[in-house]
């Protein structure tokens, strides 16, 4: 499948590598190709620059947001949540029409330091904002509740653990589920929470996630929803 990844950060890179390995045609989209290729590394987390990473990839295309969106039959939103809506405007409404927009981004505001706060929450969510701004696209919110490596390599966390999905379109959720399966997520660990308003629930998990990161000192963790029997009536 032709897959567009909007965003060139660690989330975009991680998905691009995995999707390339799975045999998909991948085009990453960015605001300024020259700028992203010439950025210097390593970054604050010790990761190489995008350009250095990209030189080691084969077959992953890189282009502007709008060209990537036009290329992709399936579009993954891997931008920083604070610029997601702006990036999607640049990607172009027509280029995303009738396509699945798998939104992994979280509206985390780091401008006031750590831990970040959410720039939208409680009575709205970024997932809903995207769906309202692009009504002819099919937004599915998923994978936003854990770090990029675990998103595409769930087996790095042992045993069963849960991934959530929110969206208005049943077919778009089926396509997303197939992608999740190809990453290694088992059907019994995928919980469809309902329509896109349920993204409020998963985006608001991030304030707990960042604090767990602080306690556990690494990002290779996830939550598992564990059920007992329903109470007798």
- Least distance (Å) between residue 95 CB and its own copies: 32
- Least distance (Å) between residue 158 CB and its own copies: 6
- Least distance (Å) between residue 175 CB and its own copies: 20
- Least distance (Å) between residue 70 CB and its own copies: 34
- Least distance (Å) between residue 129 CB and its own copies: 16
Phi and psi, residue 70, nearest 5°: -65, -35
The smaller minimum CB distance to its own copies, of residues 20 and 201, is found at 201
Residue 107 makes CB contacts below 8 A (sequence gap 6+) with 81, 82, 84, 118, 119, 120, 121, 125, 126, 203
In this structure, how many other beta carbons lie within 10 angstroms of the beta carbon of residue 20? 16
| Site residues for its own copies per CB under 8 A | 46, 117-118, 121-123, 149-150, 156-162, 164, 191-194, 198, 200-202, 204-205, 207-212, 214-231, 233
- Cα distances from 59 to residues 24, 56, 142, 215, 229, in angstroms, run 10, 10, 26, 39, 49
The smaller minimum CB distance to its own copies, of residues 6 and 146, is found at 146
The smaller minimum CB distance to its own copies, of residues 44 and 227, is found at 227
The smaller minimum CB distance to its own copies, of residues 90 and 191, is found at 191
The smaller minimum CB distance to its own copies, of residues 71 and 164, is found at 164
Q: Rounded to an integer, what distance in angstroms lies between the CA atom of residue 233 and that of residue 227?
A: 17
Nearest to 83 by CA among 60, 62, 109, 112: 109
Tokens of 209: 């996630």
């Amino acid at each position: 499948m032709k897959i567009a990844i909007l965003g060139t950060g660690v989330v975009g890179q991680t998905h691009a590598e995995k999707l390339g390995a799975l045999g998909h045609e991948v085009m990453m989209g960015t605001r300024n190709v020259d700028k992203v290729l010439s950025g210097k590394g390593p970054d604050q987390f010790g990761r190489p620059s995008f350009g250095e990473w990209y030189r080691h990839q084969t077959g992953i295309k890189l282009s502007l947001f709008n060209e990537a969106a036009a290329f992709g039959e399936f579009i993954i939103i891997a931008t920083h949540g604070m610029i997601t809506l702006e990036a999607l405007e640049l990607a172009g409404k027509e280029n995303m029409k009738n396509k699945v927009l798998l939104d992994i981004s979280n509206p985390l505001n780091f401008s006031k330091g750590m831990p970040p706060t959410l720039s939208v929450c409680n009575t709205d969510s970024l997932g809903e904002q995207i769906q309202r701004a692009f009504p002819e696209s099919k937004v599915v919110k998923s994978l936003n509740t854990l770090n990029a490596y675990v998103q595409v390599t769930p087996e790095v966390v042992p045993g069963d653990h849960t991934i959530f999905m929110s969206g208005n379109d049943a077919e778009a959720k089926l396509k997303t589920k197939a992608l999740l399966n190809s990453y290694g997520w088992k059907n019994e660990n995928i919980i469809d929470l309902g329509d896109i308003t349920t993204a409020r629930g998963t985006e608001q998990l991030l304030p707990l996630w960042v604090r767990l990161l602080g306690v556990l000192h690494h990002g290779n963790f996830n939550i598992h929803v564990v059920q007992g029997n329903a109470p007798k009536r």
